[in-house]
Amino acid sequence: AFYLDFIAKLTPGHLNIFLFFYVVFPLCSTAGMEASGTSNMKFAMNGCILIGTLDGANVEIREEVGEENFFLFGAKAHEIAGLRKERAEGKFVPDPRFEEVKKFIKSGVFGSSNYNELLGSLEGNEGFGRADYFLVGKDFPSYIECQEKVDETYKDQ
């Protein structure tokens, strides 16, 4: 796999950064959209802090490791159709922090790359590939709260 080759080429300093990346890794597919990923299984087997939605194998992993060992965020699968309907009807009001992040990306702080297509997929009211089909804007506040809970839980460790 590509990541094994990647790890083999890392210097010790880079490896520490890479290993930290593995320690807290969000498993954030939109609920009901992923049949079952395997990355989350690998992270769980390696004792990582799990932050995720109730999607795919995350459901079973959370049952096995216990709710106290899985930081849950985001909409539930049974809510998705209704949330998309609200979005299509123009009833969705994005979190101001989400809008701030999009504005920050548009500012060019990450270089000269063009993020318009990506950001455009998060805007509008309907259609696959636009109108935030995967409800990133809806899950964003819950994700931030979940990250804050992780920070609080592990602040002295």
pLDDT attached to residue 24: 54
Tell me, letter by letter, the H, E, C secondary structure of the chain.
Answer: CHHHHHHHCCCHHHHHHHHHHHHEEEECCCCCCCCCCCHHHHHHHCCCEEEECCCCCHHHHHHHHCHHHEEECCCCHHHHHHHHHHHHCCCCCCCHHHHHHHHHHHCCCCCCCCCHHHHHCCCCCCCCCCCCCCCHHHHHHHHHHHHHHHHHHHCCC
Q: What would be the CATH architecture of the domain defined by 2-154?
A: 3-Layer(aba) Sandwich (3.40)
pLDDT at 5 over 90: no
- pTM for the model: 0.75
pLDDT attached to residue 128: 57
Note the pLDDT tens digit of each residue in 95-140.
Answer: 999 999 888 888 888 888 888 888 888 887 665 556 788 898 999 9
Note the pLDDT tens digit of each residue in 23-81.
Answer: 455 666 788 776 666 778 888 888 888 888 888 888 888 998 899 889 999 999 999 99
pLDDT at 15 over 50: no
